[in-house]
Amino acid sequence: MAADDASLVPAWVEPMLAKADGGRLRSGPEWAYEYKLDGYRAAMRIAPDGTTALTSRNNIDFTAEFTDLEGVLAPALDGRAAYLDGEVVVYGEDGRIDFERMQERRGRYVRHQSGPKGLEFTDVPVRFLAFDLLRLGDRSLLAAPYDERRGLLAELPMPDPYRVSVVRAVTFDELAADRRTPADFLVHAASAGYEGVVAKLRSSAYHPGQRPDSWLKHPLVRTQEVIVCGWRPGQHSFTGTLGGLLLGAHDPATGDLVYIGDVGTGFSQATRADLRAQLEAMERRTHPFVTTPPREDTARARWVEPRLVGEIVYRQFTRGGRVRHTAWRGLRHDKDPAEVLAPRAVPHEAAAAAQPSPSPSPEPAGQRITVQAGHRRLTLSNLDKVLYPAAGFTKGEVINYYSRVAAVLLPHLAGRPVTFIRYPNGVDGQKWFEKNAPKGAPDWLRTVRLAGTGGTIDYPLLDDLPGLVWAANMAALELHVPQWTVESGNRQPPDRLVFDLDPGPGTTIVDCCRVAERLHDVLVADGLTPYAKTSGSKGMQLYCGIRTDDPAAPSAYAKRLAQRLAKETPESVTAVMAKAQRPGRVFIDWSQNNPAKTTVAPYSLRGRDHPTASTPVTWDEVRACRHVNRLTFTADDVLDRIEDHGDLLAGLAEDGAPLG
C-alpha cells in the first residue's frame, strides 16, 4: 500500500436515521435495542496509518474540536481502515450524558476559535460511543445485516474506554432469557437518564441517508430541531435581554418554511445574551414564512434570517401546527436549516388540543418508574406532568433540578425541620402548606416531633438525596426552613440571622439591593459577615452566621436595625408590615427570626409562573444590580451558577460570630 493511500480515511457516508415509532416500542425476536443517546452524531473515520477524521451528520469536520479522540482506536485496528458510526457525548457530575454541558463546551470552543491563535483548547472531556461499523479494512459492511455489523464492532478492542466505547445493545431473546421485556429495558433507560430506546431490525442493512422502518426510536423526551426565525425582547424580569424565540420548520409535504410556535424557557442568562448578540446581526424587516403567523403570536417580534438551527424539548404538537410546552436545549451547529422538518400531530394529540383543558386528574397508577437515588430505590410517578405550564417545566425536570443541586442545597437543610409548599396540580392549581410528614412517607425518612401552636408536629428532615427526591416527587416545589436546627430531637439556639427584604408596590429587587448595601455596612461594622440571596420571587434575603444562647436575640437585633434604617430614610424603607406603609418602600421583615417562622431555603424553587429559584449572589452582583433581570434566575441559571461559583453561602456555617 502506498504511503498516501495509508493516510486516506474512508469516504464519508451520509448517516442512516431512525424513524419515530409512533409511541409503540416494537417487540419480537427480530429486534435488538440500544439506548438513545443525547450528544452529537458523528462518524469516526480511520485510515490504515491511524489518521482519524471526525465528521458530523452533515459532513462538517469535528476533528479539531474533539482532538482528544484522534488516533484513539488506531492501536486496535492493526493497520486496517475503519468507519464507526456513533455519537460524541459529555458526562455531567452525576455520571449521566449531559447535552447541555456539551452545548456549553461547544460555545466555549467557538469563542476560543475567535480568540488569539496558538492557545490550546482544553475543556470538558468527551467520549465517542459507537453503535455501528460501516467499514473494516477493505470491506464495506453497508450491505451486511445489523447483527453481523454489531458482532464485528463488539470484537474491536477498546484501548481507552474513557475516550471511546461501544453502546450497549441487547436482543429481544437476551431480554427474554433474563425474564425481561423491551418495556423493562425502556424503564431502565429512563432511570439511567437516557433519552429513550432505539429498536433495530437485526436483519437490516445500513441504508445511507434514509430513515427506514428498520430503525425505530422511542423517545422518553420529545425533541425537535427548529429554525430560529425571530426573537422577542424580554419583559418584566427579563427586560433588557432576550425573552423568547420564534420558531420555524419546513412543511414535510411542501417544503415551505412555516411557523410552528415559540420558546421562552430553558435559557441561561449567558445563553440569552449570546443569542441576542447573534440575532441582532441577522435581523430583517419581514418574517420569512410562506404565510403570515397569527398576530397574537408575533407581537413585538424582531425577525431574522432563518440560518440558525436549534433544538427544543416539547410536550405536544397540535393539529394547528404548533409545538406546546417548549424548552430550549441549545443551538445545533451540526444541522442544516434545509433539513429541519416540522413534526406531525399524533391523532390523539390533535384531539386533545381541540378540547378545553380539563381539571387536573389523579395520577394514573401506571405512569411510574423506579430509580436509584443515593443508596435507596424510589418509585417516581407522572414525570411528564407539567407543573409550570407557562414554561412547560415538568415534575421530572423538578426532580432532576433538585437532584443536581443536592450537593449545595442539603447542607442548608441539614438538621432543620422543613415546611413544604406543594403544588400537586402545578403552580396554577391549589397549593398546600405541609409541616407534618404526610401519611405514606417512607419509613426511612427522618422526622422530628416538636411542639406547635396546635399540638405536636412531626416535621420531615431532609438531609440526604433520597429524601430530597421523595419530596420533589410529591411536587414539594418550595422548601422553607427556620433559622435554628434540632439535635437529638431538641431545638437548638439560632445559628442564623436573616433580613427579608420585600419590595412594596412601585419598587423591585433593584431597590432591595440599595437597602442590602446599607445593611451590609452596618452588619460588617458589628463584626458579622453578611451573605445575600434572591428570594426567587420579588425580593431578597441577607443572612449572617451567629452564635447566641438567646432565641429572642436575633429578632431583637434585626428589629433595631430595621427601625434604624426606616428612621434614616422613611421615604424608601419601612420596618412595619402594614399595607399602608408599603407603597414605594422596601419592607425589612425582621420577624422571620422568630423561632416560629421559616424562610425559603437557598436553591429552593418557587411556585411562580416560571421555575425561578432562591439564588445566592455575590456582593458585586448586588452592588451592580440596576435591572430586575440581573438577579432573576431560573432552575437552568442556578445550575450554571453552581458550576461557576459553587455554593456562595458555604461560608455561613464557618462565619458564625457572637450576636451583640
Stated as kind and residue range, the H or E segment containing 160 is none
For the chain, 660 residues long, the average pLDDT of each consecutive 10-residue run is: 67 90 85 91 94 90 90 92 95 80 77 60 84 96 97 93 93 93 86 84 95 87 88 74 92 92 81 90 94 85 95 75 81 88 59 30 51 82 85 86 90 96 90 89 94 84 93 96 94 96 94 97 95 96 96 96 96 92 95 95 95 95 90 88 86 84
pLDDT of residue 347: 42
The alpha carbon of 287 is separated from its chain's Cα centroid by a whole number of angstroms, namely 31
Asked whether the beta carbons of 216 and 28 are under 8 A apart, the reply is no
Query: If you search the block for the grid coordinates 452529537, which residue do you land on?
Result: 40
Could you give the C-alpha distances from 115 to 63, 68, 505, in angstroms and in order? 19, 20, 46
Give me the pLDDT at residue 240, please: 75
Question: What gap in Å lies between CA 433 and CA 441, rounded to an integer?
Answer: 16
Residue carrying the nine cell digits 461557576: 644
Residues 590, 562: contact at Cβ < 8 Å? Answer: yes
Q: What is the biggest distance separating any 2 CA atoms in the chain, rounded to whole angstroms?
A: 90
Amino acid (1-letter code) at residue 602: P
Report the distance separating Cα 192 and Cα 493, nearest Å.
42
Question: DSSP class of residue 234?
Answer: -
pTM: 0.51
Q: Phi first, then psi: give them for residue 152, nearest 5 degrees.
A: -65, -40
d(CA 284, CA 292): 15
Q: What is the residue type of 238?
A: F
**Location of C-alpha cell 434575603:** 541
Tell me, what DSSP letter sits at residue 613?
B
pLDDT tens sequence across 49-100: 999 999 998 888 989 889 889 999 999 899 999 999 999 999 887 788 887 6
Query: 336 CB contacts (<8 Å, ≥6 apart)?
Result: 58, 309
Long-range CB contacts (< 8 A, 24+ apart) of 157-161? 157/75, 157/76, 158/73, 158/76, 159/72, 159/73, 159/75, 159/76, 160/72
Contact, 168 vs 34, CB < 8 A? yes
Its sign, for the CA torsion 252, 257, 262, 266, is positive
